[in-house]
Structure 1
Amino acid sequence: MNRSDVILELQLVPELLKQAEAIYVDAVSELSWAKHQLLAKECEVIGDGLVTGKNEQQRQAEIWPYTKDLQEQVLRMEDAVEHTKVEFHFYKRKLENLQIIAKLMTIL
């Protein structure tokens, strides 16, 4: 990697990092909203008297048919958050590495 490559990368990576961070923040926000919807549905089901189980396991089994789709959505969104976090941290490390390389090039 020569100096011009490093300079070019140092110019491009901050914008890529910004985009990855925005995508990550959006994914976290969407996950929070999905969890809120799931909780609201659980409260609705309980409030409607559809849950009569004597213990937590029975109650969860009774809630499941009403919340299955929302629970699957939350799981998918948790996966999406993890994938976007990987991308964000990749560009963050790349920028840090490029900065170190640039400093070393100025010393040598």
Structure 2
Amino acid sequence: MNRSEVILELQLVPELLKQAEAIYADAVTELAWAKHELLSKECEVIGEGLVSGKNEQQRQAEMWPYTKELQKKVLQVEAALEQTKVEYHFYKRKLENLQTIARLMTIL
């Protein structure tokens, strides 16, 4: 990697990092909303008296038909969040590496 390539990358990567960070923040918000939606449905089901289990396991089993799609959605959003986190950390490490390379180039 020559100096001009390092300079170009140093100019591009911060914007890519900013975009990845924004996508990550959106994914965190989406997960919070998905969890809120699931909790809301659970409260609704309990409030309507559709759950009468004597212990937590029985209550979860009775609630499952009403919440399984929302639970699936939460899992999908969590997986998407992890992917965005990987992308964000990739660009963060790339920027740090480029900065190190640039410092070394100035010494040499």
Same fold (TM over 0.5): yes
1:41 shift after superposition: 0.2
Question: TM-score under structure 1 normalisation?
Answer: 1.00
1:88 shift after superposition: 0.1
**Equivalence for 1:23:** 23
After superposition, what is the alpha-carbon deviation per residue over 1:8-34, rounded to whole angstroms, capped at 9, x for unaligned?
Answer: 000000000000000000001000000
**Equivalence for 1:85:** 85
- Alignment partner of 1:79: what SS? helix
**Equivalence for 2:55:** 55
Structure 1 gap ranges (5+): none
Give the CA RMSD over aligned residues.
Answer: 0.3
Structure 2 gap ranges (5+): none
**Equivalence for 2:71:** 71
**Equivalence for 2:43:** 43
Distance in 1 (alpha carbons) for counterparts of 2:53 and 2:70: 21
Question: TM-score under structure 2 normalisation?
Answer: 1.00
Q: Work out the number of aligned pairs and report it.
A: 108
Q: Quick one: percent identity of the two aligned structures?
A: 81
